[in-house]
Amino acid sequence: MANLKEIRNRITSVSSTMQITSAMKMVSAAKLKKAQDAITAMRPYAEKLTELLQNLSSTLEGDMGGAFTTQREVKNVLIVAVTSNRGLAGAFNSNVLKEIKRLSEGQYAGKKVDFVTIGKKGNDILKKSGNVVSNNNGLFDELTFDNVSVVTDEIVKLFLDGKYDKIVLVYNQFKNAATQIIKEEQLLPLVPPAKTDSSKVVDYIFEPSKEEIVLTLIPKMLKTQVYKAVRDSFAAEHGARMTAMHKATDNATALRNQLKLTYNKARQAAITNEILEIVGGAEALKG
């Protein structure tokens, strides 16, 4: 009967886990809808702002954005790693860290690579290297454009001060609840759009000058780019967690059913043994 008790305890434990994963799945599904609507509504604005800036910059002569476009020999690289504050989201965080490791050991091998972390999970791993310049876990507590803009201003200042020659974003882009795409985007220096024969240039009426408009748009575009990356990652996190908890709930259900079957078989075997012992005892008394 000790074996039966052990199986009963396991069934209770698995059932409890199944309830937790099911609840987490529903919570993430509810949060995903809001986060998905936010990033879906934002993308057209971000893309149009980038398109506008590219059209403007393509008509300028010389340096389009002053210090923002300064190309220096890449010796110091700053990687902005966007992860989550919580786990239980499958490979969501590990994929970002794998991409950062690939960049550090490949494209930026031999260069000084530092990190700005957005998300506790990434910070916990990257801080072991001692190269974390800034940790911004609190952004997800109140994810607003203004809060992200403060972080972006700090990052841009590091580039303008010459402390870093290149700044890149690494994050999960939201595609759907089951799919997240690892993205690596260069934030600074700005790269002018490649001119092709098929490129179309829109003729705008400018007031004030083109140069002033571009220099006003660049900081706004950088803030929008970082905010979009964080929003993308936030939606992707809930999609990944919902998918992971769905799979965990299915696995827990299958394990619980298997344990119940094992329990019933063991219980039936125990009952059969008891019947055989009673019959054997009765036959011995008759003898």
- Given a cut of 60, whether residue 195 has pLDDT beyond it is no
**Burial classification of residue 262, based on how many CB atoms lie within 10 Å of its CB (0-12 exposed, 13-18 middle, 19 or more buried):** middle
Whole-number pLDDT of residue 200: 60
Mean pLDDT of 233-258: 92
Which of 48-52, 60-64, 67-71, 252-256 holds the top average pLDDT?
252-256
Whole-number pLDDT of residue 198: 54
Whole-number pLDDT of residue 201: 59
- Given a cut of 60, whether residue 196 has pLDDT beyond it is no
pLDDT over 90, % of the chain:
42
Whole-number pLDDT of residue 281: 82
Secondary structure (3-state) at 7 = helix
Pick the residue with more confidence: 200 or 48?
A: 48
The reported pTM is 0.82
Q: What is the CATH number of domain 2-22+244-286?
A: 1.10.287.80
Cα separation, 244 vs 24, in Å, equals 10
Mean pLDDT of 233-260: 92
| pLDDT tens digits, 212-231 | 777 788 888 899 999 999 99
Average pLDDT, the chain: 85
Which of 187-196, 251-260, 277-286 holds the top average pLDDT?
251-260
The partner residues of 172 in beta bridges, in order of sequence, read 182
The boundaries of every CATH 1.10.287.80 domain in the chain are 2-22+244-286
Q: pLDDT category, 60, cuts 50, 70, 90?
A: low
- Given a cut of 90, whether residue 96 has pLDDT beyond it is yes
- Given a cut of 80, whether residue 254 has pLDDT beyond it is yes
The boundaries of every CATH 3.40.1380.10 domain in the chain are 25-237
- The answer to whether the CB of 62 falls within 8 A of the CB of 155 is no
CATH superfamily to which 25-237 belongs: ATP synthase, F1 complex, gamma subunit (3.40.1380.10)
Mean pLDDT of 93-116: 91
Pick the residue with more confidence: 282 or 58?
A: 282
- Which DSSP category does 64 fall into? S
Cis upstream peptide for 189 (omega within 30°) = yes
- Given a cut of 60, whether residue 248 has pLDDT beyond it is yes
Mean pLDDT of 196-217: 68
DSSP of 123-140, one letter per residue?
HHHHGGGT-EEEE-GGGG
Whole-number pLDDT of residue 233: 92
Whole-number pLDDT of residue 192: 64
Among 164, 161, 180, residue whose Cα is nearest residue 172 = 180
